[in-house]
Amino acid sequence: MRVRLWRQNATLESPLSAARQLHHLRTRLFLEVEHEGVAGYGEVAPQPEALNGDPGVQAVVDELTTFVMAQLVEIVKREGGLPSWSRVARFAGPRDASNPAVALVEMALLDREMRLNATSIEQLWTPIYETPVQATASLISDAPWVIDEGVSRLRVKTHPGTPSASAIERLESIEIPVLLDLNCSASTDAEVVELVRAISRVALVDAVEQPFAPGNVIDHARLAEQLDVAVSIDEGIRSPRDIDQVVRYRAARIVCVKPARVGGLANARSMFARAAEMGLRPYLGGFFESPYARQVHRALARSAVNEPSDVGPVAVRPDGLAGEALLRNGSFGVIPDPQMLSDSTGVTLCD
């Protein structure tokens, strides 16, 4: 077995200001797992630094190299071959970085398994929906908005307080529903209610997302009783138990499930089903991944989600690297461009 890890730094075409972070540079981690001449690829795109319960990129790398790889190597030695991709979610430990590290390995093993068996993702996950696309912009800065044609909902990064005149002017030009993403920045119900009221005068507000801290279902439930629009939980969704808590306390009607955050594709798919069965509106969220992981996530969403999701392209600035993805038949339909990987920072974890 040979395992290689690459880091690619991608600069977003338009910096995106959130309540407590500026999204401008994203490090994408690519993992290749090769065994008996067949290779598979995984990708996650962690935040630069830890925030709101999500780990920073270095913590994910450390988790992968210290804990997850040790389990993978032990299984190969004991069983004489790679484990099925469906077993990898069980590698996760209690640390924040564990789920994205496990998700990285799981995607690579699924890709390899499908290539080995000459199958495609559509055979594994039958497409049911043409999942609508959600785009993301910011009301906090004056950076240009990048909204592609065909987008069905706009998530806008914002914070409590009276929206600026320029923010109101921007929203007046938007004809699609907006989701107000506060990224855990609110302190009181009143400031969220006032923000929703102000923006509702000029735009169609679909939901307000994660105003309070992850795990704080009580405050979200109290706020939900005061709003005419839905509450959405994002950073607070990391396991099936979180979905159960949202339903128990009536804390939200929408939940954002991010595969890297919940430990991979298998967990995400089961959580989509669980949420829908319990009357919630689940959608697939992203971390500014490359076209490779976006292709994988799009296939997952089409099999399980009819809510606008983060499955569209991520606009990045040209940075001298080769193309981000290479078309190829079978499996997920694409692989990371080998030239792009060779131009990135790479290390062999196992050979």
Q: pLDDT tens across 200-230, in order?
A: 999 999 999 999 999 999 999 999 999 999 9
Q: Which fold has domain 2-118+318-350?
A: Enolase-like; domain 1 (3.30.390)
Q: Mean pLDDT over residues 162-173, rounded?
A: 89
What's the residue count for the chain?
351
Q: Which of 71-75, 284-288, 327-331, 344-348 has the lowest mean pLDDT?
A: 327-331
Q: In this predicted structure, what is the pLDDT of residue 196?
A: 96
Q: Which fold has domain 124-302?
A: TIM Barrel (3.20.20)
Residues of the chain with CATH 3.20.20.120: 124-302
Q: CB–CB of 113/68 below 8 Å? A: no
Q: In this predicted structure, what is the pLDDT of residue 15?
A: 76
* Tens-place pLDDT, residues 46-64: 999 999 999 999 999 999 9
Residues of the chain with CATH 3.30.390.10: 2-118+318-350
Cα–Cα distance measured from residue 64 to residue 308, given in angstroms and rounded to the nearest whole number: 31
Q: CB–CB of 253/230 below 8 Å? A: yes
* Tens-place pLDDT, residues 133-161: 999 999 988 877 878 889 999 999 999 98
Q: Which of 36-40, 66-70, 157-161, 189-193 has the lowest mean pLDDT?
A: 157-161
Place of tokens 């209690």: 94
Q: Mean pLDDT over residues 260-265, rounded?
A: 98
Cα–Cα distance measured from residue 170 to residue 178, given in angstroms and rounded to the nearest whole number: 12
Cα–Cα distance measured from residue 256 to residue 342, given in angstroms and rounded to the nearest whole number: 34
Please state the pTM of the whole predicted model.
0.95
Q: Which of 9-18, 95-104, 133-142 has the lowest mean pLDDT?
A: 9-18
For the CA atoms of 300, 289, 343, 32, what is the dihedral angle to 10 degrees? -40
Q: Mean pLDDT over residues 108-127, rounded?
A: 95
Instruction: Place 24 in a pLDDT band, splitting at 50, 70 and 90.
Output: confident
Show the 3-state SS of the chain.
CEEEEEEEEEEEEEEEECCCCEEEEEEEEEEEEEECCEEEEEEECCECCCECCECEHHHHHHHHHHHHHHHHHHHHHHHCCCCCHHHHHHHCCCCCCHHHHHHHHHHHHHHHHHHHHCCEHHHHCCCCCCCCEEEEEECCCCCCCCCCCCEEEEEEECCCCCCCHHHHHHHHCCCCCEEEECCCCCCCHHHHHHHHHHHHCCCCEEEEECCCCCCCHHHHHHHHCCCCCEEEECCCCCCHHHHHHHHHHCCCCEEEECHHHHCCHHHHHHHHHHHHHCCCEEEECCCCCCHHHHHHHHHHHHCCCCCCECCCCCCECCCCCCCCEEECCCECCEEECHHHHHHCEEEEEEC
**Both tokens of residue 52?**
């709101």
* Tens-place pLDDT, residues 273-303: 999 999 999 999 999 999 999 999 999 999 9
Q: In this predicted structure, what is the pLDDT of residue 94?
A: 94
Q: In this predicted structure, what is the pLDDT of residue 101?
A: 98
**Both tokens of residue 249?**
């306390």
Q: Mean pLDDT over residues 114-126, rounded?
A: 94
Instruction: Place 323 in a pLDDT band, splitting at 50, 70 and 90.
Output: low
* Tens-place pLDDT, residues 304-321: 999 999 999 988 877 655
Q: In this predicted structure, what is the pLDDT of residue 274?
A: 97
Q: In this predicted structure, what is the pLDDT of residue 162?
A: 84
Positive or negative torsion for Cα 83, 87, 88, 94 = negative
* Tens-place pLDDT, residues 176-209: 999 999 999 999 999 999 999 999 999 999 999 9
